[in-house]
Amino acid sequence: MSRPCNTSEAPLAVTARHLSKTYWFYEKEPGLSGAVKALFKGRKTVVRAVQDIDFRLHTGEVVGFIGPNGAGKTTTLKMLAGILFPSGGTLDVLGHIPHRREKEFLKKIAFVAGQRNRLFWDLPAEEYFQFCKIVYEIPDEHYFAAKTRLVEMAGIGDTLAVPQRKLSAGQRKRCELVAALLHDPRVIFLDEPTNALDLVNARKLREFIRAKAKAGNHGIILTSHNMADIGEVCDRIVIINAGQIAFDGSLSSMYRRFATKKQIKILFNGPWSRDLVARLGELTIVDPHEAVLEVEPAETARVAAHICSNFPIRDITIIEAPIERIIEAIYAQRQK
């Protein structure tokens, strides 16, 4: 994971206070009669997608913005990028009000969505990069230096002349990231960047994001359902649920605050009794040669010592509970 910067000294890139977004629509009953009835007696339904959240991002910081589907993650990102108009609150991104979409503001940000491709299907990346150069008015010397550096980081040097339709999803996504960063944006919004990518290409994309983050002069907000993206890339985690922030802090502080159990991973070197091991904690993974046992933190050392003394052990490892389990617990707390 990239090393966190000293946020007390780094300048603020994003400040949101009491940020809210409300949608509304008219409900209708099924069928043609329901559609006609809705024209005259439709029932108005209000959806509070984002509710009174406060949020800050410092330059040099990489923040994972996570939550269940419909929690308000993408809506928040779109407000920060100026794509959506907030229903309430104040928002400052690099000294600009995002929804005004001023030219100077757009030159300072990048928004990359994993579920849509910004590149032209029949156009090679090299030509699209030239298009970006013109749109963002990038000086020649800055453009060529940035392109050389980014192409090398992304590992796409052998694909620049190939039409996008001929590339794999991972290659296209890396080309898209390079295109989004050519103008050296100071704030980068990444919405599900590894969506639908295989393990190899997702890893390459995370390496690219980490390398970009190490420069230290960019603020990056990343949303993802892939916890590897969060754990390997982000300095800080913001968990949003039902439009409200449920947690804001480092990964280590989240473990300290919410982790209720530790896991003991056991590799056996001979026959073992499932019933006897199950008496020591909660078995979550079981096969003939391996088991994962969840125990209370205070009991970890005692249980591990007991296992080593009473079972044929090849290896034993004590680890934190998976990040997914902790986040699920946070979701559940907010729903009570």
The confidence score (pLDDT) of residue 9 equals: 65
Q: Which H or E run contains 282?
A: strand 282-287
Average pLDDT over residues 103-115: 88
**Cα 223–chain centre separation:** 3
pLDDT tens profile 199-210: 887 888 888 888
Q: Answer with the residue of higher pLDDT: 174 or 43.
A: 174
Q: How sure is the predictor about 186, in pLDDT bands with cuts at 50, 70 and 90?
A: very high
The three-state secondary structure class of 201 is helix
φ, ψ dihedrals at 82, nearest 5°: 85, 10
Length of the chain counted residue by residue: 336
Structure tokens at 305: 């010592």
**Cα 101–chain centre separation:** 24
Please give the CATH architecture assigned to the domain spanning 12-19+50-256. 3-Layer(aba) Sandwich (3.40)
The confidence score (pLDDT) of residue 3 equals: 42
Least confidently predicted of 72-76, 81-85, 257-261: 257-261
The CATH class that applies to domain 261-320 reads alpha beta
pLDDT tens profile 12-63: 999 999 999 998 877 777 777 777 777 777 777 888 999 999 999 998 889 9
313-317, long-range: CB < 8 A, 24+ apart: 313/266, 313/267, 313/268, 313/269, 314/267, 314/268, 314/269, 315/266, 315/267, 316/264, 316/265, 316/266, 316/267, 317/264, 317/265
The confidence score (pLDDT) of residue 8 equals: 53
Structure tokens at 140: 């020649």
Domain boundaries, the chain: 12-19+50-256, 261-320
